[in-house]
Amino acid sequence: MPCRSYEDSWGSSSSYEISMLQEKVDRLARFACYAMTALEKVAPTSEIFQDKELVTWWEAHKIADAKAMAEEQARLVALKEKRELAKKKRELLKTMSPEDRKILGL
């Protein structure tokens, strides 16, 4: 999981302060995510999963992580497709005569 806080409303802080706060919050979210993932694997019926605030955060965090991972995967797929298309275009241009390029305005 990419694990970050997904909170970004830091009010009127400077951009440096916001950046530092976001790094700290993201680090704490990673720690909590790691711990909750491990606990969920070894003790899914633990009483900790009865804490409403924690369970609410954990479920929302897993959904946000899944969304972030899906967006990253989509970005990587789009980037790969763009690179493949550019490669195909270069290969096609190599096969074209100067006259063909001129006709096509290339």
Examine the pLDDT at 11 and tell me if it is beyond 70. no
Q: Which residues of 24-53 are buried (b: 16+ CB within 10 A; e: fewer)?
A: ebbeebeebbeebeeeeeeeeeeeeeeeee
At 13-49, the pLDDT tens digits run 678 888 888 888 889 999 999 999 999 999 988 899 9
Examine the pLDDT at 1 and tell me if it is beyond 70. no
Helices (H), the chain: 15-42, 52-95, 98-104
Q: Which two tokens stand for residue 28?
A: 């704490």
Separation of alpha carbons 89 and 84, rounded Å? 9
The residues spanned by each domain of the chain are 15-104
Q: What is the pLDDT of residue 35?
A: 94
